[in-house]
Amino acid sequence: MRLSELLGAPVTTRSGASLGRLRDIRAEIHPRHVAITGIVVGQLGALERLGIGAPTTTVRIRTHDVIPWEQVVRADRRGIVVEDDAYPR
Amino acid sequence: MKRILSVALGILAAIGGFVDIGDIVFNVQAGSMFGYQLLWVVVIGVGGIMTYAEMCGRVAAVSERAVFDAVRERLGFGVGLVALVAGQFVNLMTLTAEIGGIALVLQLLSALPYRVLLVLAAVVLLLVLWLMSFQWIERVFGYCGLALLVFAVAAIKLQPDWGRVARGFVPSGGSGDLAVYLYFVVGLIGAAMVPYEVYFYSSGAVEERWTPKDLGTNRANVLIGYSLGGILSCALMICAGALLLPNGITAELLGTVALVAEVPLGQIGLLLALIGTLFAVSGAAIDSAFSGGYNVAQFFGWEWGRYRKNAGAPRFTIAWFVMLTVAFVIVMTGVDPILVTELSVIFSVVALPLTYIPILLVANDRAYMGRYANGRLSNVLGIFYLVVVLVIAAAAIPLLVLSNMGQG
Amino acid sequence: MKTSGPIDLALGLLDHQLVDSDNRRCGKVDDLEIEGLDTASPRLAAIIVGAPAWRGRGRVGRLAARLAGGRSTRVPWSEVEEIASDVQLRKPAGELRLDAAEERARRFIARLPGAER
């Protein structure tokens, strides 16, 4: 899938609660590959998408809206579904 | 020693290149209508461009990137493309106004017909852009623009009421039509902080192959060069306030601008004023033509820069050439360059937030800046001016209408 | 300069400048291809460059893609050397088929006198 297809997709829990939209995808850079490690969701995620409070900035504003990939149940064109107890950290 | 000399020369080029036709028109008109009451606005505008130019220069020196990239990276493709189109539209208006301004000045120096001078101006601009290196262009047009210092001399020679001048640096409501007053507040800040200035400054720093070693030069250019350039803007307003306002002359013609140097200083004053204006406006035309190329190339990721040579950055070259050609066609239709100048400044004010927000964001980004990211002072000033820019962006079009374009 | 550490894809990779092994600018990251979304360890598969990739970028993107036309190019992630504020590639743009439009423009400009200035 393309990143552009995931950006802006709705993020819901298994039981249907809405957590907002996918703003960005957190990944980890390795020497030979880049591994997806989480998703950035919701209102504060929008700030992080602009670059406020993201891993590479100096601006210290709380943006902990990252859900670890382990808690993602399904991700496709229809949207992203996460575990009920998934909590943006 | 050599380093001090090169920094000093950079400062001189920055002073001479600071003023463009938008500054000339707005400062002189403001002076002719409100005397010295808007001097405080010039200080605010100069402070704004100083804050953000320093950031742009630092970003370019540290990351070797120009800031227009940040528009697409931060705001996304959609918003970024809107910013590009709007920016190119304003660039085009600016370039059209500058070409017309060159022809107007040449008309005062020679007696040749306006349209002939338009063709001459366009051809000379094309040759300069195509053949001269970036460094040579900036030096020649920057140094010759220093002739504008004649306005500082004229301002002193006109012996204005210095008490009233000093009071002009304190914000006041101004006497007269409030809508017109506020229109000039917006226009003066806009003319000082016009988007192509920062885009050009940052691309120019990459053209000059700046590295972190040049951060001192960056600060010197901005702190010394731009503040002295700001004094030139003030001098224009003081001259207009001392000479035009008492005599009820409004500055609708470029000739009136030259007049304010001729009255106190005679033929020499007139000649220096015209030469200074000619080079400042030509320099600004070159800067806005290049900006047209820079912005498109930087948005789409093409190779860009005069330092790559014409064949080394072919799509960039075609881009500035197309901009120059379209501007030439527009100005040949006979539009009034002064009118286009005023509209281009006011329209660009509306685009200022899209310009400045990404710059502030990227100057705080460690992937770009490493340990050279913004300190507290830059961020405090940056946010202050962002608020200023948001306010005037919202007020620009309403004031344009309410004040009847400054006519009242 | 990053060869390790966390990154946000839309912020730190998407729309960033691509630079080839000769240090020449050769386009932007117009989209990213992700594989393994149905597994526990998805990863980046490739960079997509070209106007058709803008179709996924909203209404403005679709319009721009239609006006621009052209083809898109897929650059496998193995061709990426390093991620800084731009993305550095291992090979020259020609070998990665990223230089078609630039070469066409260059052939046109090179015919004019002073093109090497």
Partners of residue C31 in chain A, C-beta under 8 Å: 2-4
Partners of residue A50 in chain B, C-beta under 8 Å: 74-75, 361
Per-domain boundaries in chain A: 3-82
- Please tell me the total number of residues recorded for chain B in this structure: 408
CB of B366 within 8 Å of a chain C CB? The answer is no
CB–CB contact A33 C4 (8 Å): no
**Tokens in use for B65?**
């990137």
Candidates C2, C32, C61; nearest CB to A29: C2
**Tokens in use for A20?**
């907002």
First to last CA, chain C: 33
User: What is the CATH number assigned to the segment(s) C9-110?
Assistant: 2.30.30.240
CB of C27 within 8 Å of a chain B CB? The answer is yes
Q: How far apart are alpha carbons B244 and B239 in whole angstroms?
A: 8
pTM to 2 decimals? Answer: 0.92
Which has more confidence, A30 or A66? Answer: A30
- For C20-39, b where at least 16 C-beta lie within 10 A, e where not — what string? beeebbbbbbbbbbbeebee
Q: Which residues have CB under 8 Å from B103's CB, separation 6+? A: B114, B117, B118, B120, B121, B331, B337
Each of the 408 residues of chain B gets a pLDDT tens digit; together they read 777 888 888 888 888 788 888 999 999 999 999 999 999 999 999 999 999 999 999 999 999 989 998 889 988 999 999 999 999 999 999 999 999 999 999 999 898 999 999 999 999 999 999 999 999 998 899 899 999 999 999 999 999 999 999 999 999 877 778 999 999 999 999 999 988 889 999 999 999 999 999 999 999 999 998 998 899 999 999 999 999 888 888 877 778 888 888 888 899 999 999 999 999 999 999 999 999 999 999 999 999 999 999 999 999 999 999 999 999 999 999 999 889 999 999 999 998 999 999 999 999 988 889 899 999 999 999 999 999 999 999 999 999 999 988 887
- CATH number (3.40.50.150, 1.20.1740.10, 3.20.20.70, 1.10.150.120) of B26-402 reads 1.20.1740.10
For C8, phi then psi, to 5°, come to -95, 130
Partners of residue C42 in chain A, C-beta under 8 Å: 35-36, 69
Q: Which CATH class is domain A3-82?
A: mainly beta
Q: Which residues have CB under 8 Å from B64's CB, separation 6+? A: B206
CB–CB contact B366 A59 (8 Å): no
Per-domain boundaries in chain B: 26-402
Per-domain boundaries in chain C: 9-110
Interface of A with C in 32-61 (CB under 8 A): 32-37, 40, 48-51, 54-56
DSSP states along B205-271 = HHHTT--GGGHHHHHHIIIIIIHHHHHHHHHHHHHHHHHTTTTT----SHHHHHHHHHHHHHHHHHH
Candidates C3, C11, C37; nearest CB to A75: C37
Give yes or no for a contact between B50 and B227, defined as CB atoms under 8 angstroms apart: yes
CB–CB contact C4 A7 (8 Å): no
With helix as H, strand as E and coil as C, how does B93-131 read? HHHHHHHHHHHHHHHHHCCCCHHHHHHHHHHHHHHHHHH
Interface of A with C in 56-85 (CB under 8 A): 56, 69-70, 74-76
